[in-house]
């Protein structure tokens, strides 16, 4: 009997889709009362001979009840955290001491520390980063993407998942590749995007850390959203801009279990469609059947695709118990051979805010 690899492939994709949705639900939790003065620390350039490096993340309990830090788990054995074991009383503070062992050779690094507390099921993420070198590289070698006289490791930044109505921050390092001081400013930022450099004047050959924040309160966006900002160096706009990518979903973090049970729910009768062989240049349509099996009204905020050549028809509102169709028509002019396309519905379903559908075709 011939093994059907396509069925296996779609089974894997469907499982991944379920895990994404489960992860979105796992992030639902009350607001965390522990407020950190910073959630990231960049060590900059470190010689491999410099030995261990340490930093401190200070916090304050702004809630009304004591908070216990149960555990702090590092993404790597090269990072050792130490935290207070006694309850942190309301209005009081403390710190998490983090030591980077610097024992894994020369490389750029970014490590995550996951902080679990008694106040919320949603953990707090702390990050440390830097560049370990054996023979010191030039700034230009370490920051290869030029933005005018400046350089970055990556100008296409990933912020991850973000709930509508919330804000989220990240950071990156920018270097002065020129032989003179550069005053850095940011202009023409997308609505909701904010950027601030640690040092507005970067000396020749030096680096600084830039903090960026996406605030969805300022403008409503859904799904895959790209924010951009121009970099102005000594009053001159650089030819290349910075981009921040994130996935914006519905706000479910403040919902109770009862509220979730009263919400909408999406059940797909078919989450994958194979269009078979299609002649290049011809359009083809995939149709999916779904149902709102919840007790609340289903809202579909947006239908995203992993390519721009899909025309997607989807209702914006579905009543409880109703079936609905998603139709996706693909223009095949730009494709050849076996292709798999992904459609993502961004919904208000508390237990499934993201619904992934898959289309395969052999274009010849």
Q: What is the CA radius of gyration of the chain?
A: 24
Residue 261: CA count within 13 A, CB half-sphere: 3
- pLDDT confidence of 4, banded at 50, 70, 90? very low
Give SS3 for 181. Answer: coil
pLDDT of residue 30 exceeding 70, the answer is no
- pLDDT confidence of 105, banded at 50, 70, 90? confident
Domain 49-136 has CATH 2.60.40.10: yes
Give SS3 for 279. Answer: coil
pLDDT of residue 5 exceeding 80, the answer is no
- pLDDT confidence of 122, banded at 50, 70, 90? confident
Q: Give me the CATH topology for the region 141-251.
A: Immunoglobulin-like (2.60.40)
339 vs 14, 101, 234, 307, 312, CA distance in Å? 16, 45, 46, 11, 17
Structural domain spans, the chain: 5-26+256-363, 49-136, 141-251
pLDDT of residue 109 exceeding 90, the answer is no
State percent of the chain over pLDDT 70.
Answer: 91
pLDDT of residue 220 exceeding 60, the answer is yes
Average pLDDT, the chain: 88
> In terms of C-beta density within 10 A (0-12 exposed, 13-18 middle, 19 or more buried), how is residue 339 classed?
middle
Task: Please say whether the dihedral angle defined by the alpha carbons of residues 286, 287, 290 and 296, taken in this order, is positive or negative.
Answer: positive
Q: Give me the CATH topology for the region 5-26+256-363.
A: Immunoglobulin-like (2.60.40)
Fold equal for 5-26+256-363 and 49-136: yes
Predicted local distance difference test score (pLDDT) of residue 317: 97
pLDDT of residue 107 exceeding 70, the answer is yes
- pLDDT tens digits, one per residue of 32-53: 899 999 999 989 888 888 999 9
- pLDDT tens digits, one per residue of 174-185: 999 999 999 999
Q: Return the structure tokens found at 62.
A: 């702004």
- pLDDT confidence of 254, banded at 50, 70, 90? confident
- pLDDT confidence of 135, banded at 50, 70, 90? confident
pLDDT of residue 1 exceeding 60, the answer is no
pLDDT of residue 84 exceeding 90, the answer is yes
- pLDDT tens digits, one per residue of 318-334: 999 999 999 999 888 88
Query: How far is Cα of residue 193 from the mean position of the Cα atoms in its chain?
Result: 15
Predicted local distance difference test score (pLDDT) of residue 35: 94
Predicted local distance difference test score (pLDDT) of residue 177: 95
Query: What is the distance between the alpha carbons of residues 164 and 178, in angstroms, rounded to a whole number?
Result: 40
- pLDDT confidence of 65, banded at 50, 70, 90? very high
Give SS3 for 51. Answer: coil
Q: Identify the helix (H) or strand (E) that includes residue 158.
A: strand 156-163
pLDDT of residue 274 exceeding 50, the answer is yes
- Judge whether 226 and 243 are in contact, CB under 8 Å: yes
Predicted local distance difference test score (pLDDT) of residue 6: 46
Task: Please say whether the dihedral angle defined by the alpha carbons of residues 288, 289, 294 and 295, taken in this order, is positive or negative.
Answer: positive
Which phi and psi (to 5°) does residue 27 adopt?
A: -85, 0
């Amino acid at each position: 009997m011939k093994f059907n690899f396509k069925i296996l492939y779609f089974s894997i994709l469907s499982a991944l889709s379920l895990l994404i949705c489960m992860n979105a639900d796992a992030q639902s939790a009350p607001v965390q009362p522990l407020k950190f003065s910073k959630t990231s620390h960049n060590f900059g350039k470190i010689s491999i001979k410099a030995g261990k490096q340490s930093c401190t993340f200070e916090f304050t309990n702004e809630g009304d009840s004591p908070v216990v830090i149960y555990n702090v788990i590092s993404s790597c054995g090269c990072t050792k955290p130490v935290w207070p074991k006694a309850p942190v009383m309301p209005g009081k503070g403390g710190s998490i001491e983090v030591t980077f062992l610097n024992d894994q050779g020369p490389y750029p690094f970014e490590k995550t520390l996951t902080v679990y507390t008694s106040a919320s099921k949603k953990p707090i993420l702390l990050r440390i980063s830097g560049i370990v070198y054996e023979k010191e590289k030039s700034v230009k070698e370490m920051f290869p993407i030029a933005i005018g006289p400046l350089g970055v490791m990556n100008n296409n930044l990933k912020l991850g998942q973000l709930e509508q109505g919330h804000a989220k921050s990240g950071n990156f390092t920018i270097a002065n590749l020129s032989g003179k001081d550069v005053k850095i400013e940011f202009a023409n930022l997308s609505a909701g995007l904010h950027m601030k450099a640690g040092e507005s004047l970067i000396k020749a050959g030096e680096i600084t850390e830039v903090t960026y924040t996406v605030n969805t309160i300022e403008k409503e966006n859904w799904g895959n959203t790209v924010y951009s900002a121009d970099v102005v160096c000594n009053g001159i706009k650089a030819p290349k801009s910075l981009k921040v990518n994130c996935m914006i979903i519905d706000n479910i973090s403040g919902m109770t279990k009862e509220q979730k049970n009263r919400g909408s729910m999406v059940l797909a009768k078919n989450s994958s469609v194979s269009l078979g062989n299609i002649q290049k240049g011809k359009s083809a349509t995939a149709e999916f059947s779904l149902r709102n099996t919840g007790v609340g009204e289903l809202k579909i905020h947006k239908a995203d695709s992993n390519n721009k050549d899909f025309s997607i028809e989807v209702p914006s509102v579905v009543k409880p118990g109703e079936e609905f169709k998603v139709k996706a028509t693909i223009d095949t002019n730009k494709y050849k051979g076996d292709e798999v396309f992904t459609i993502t519905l961004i919904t208000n379903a508390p237990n499934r805010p993201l619904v992934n559908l898959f289309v395969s075709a052999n274009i010849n």
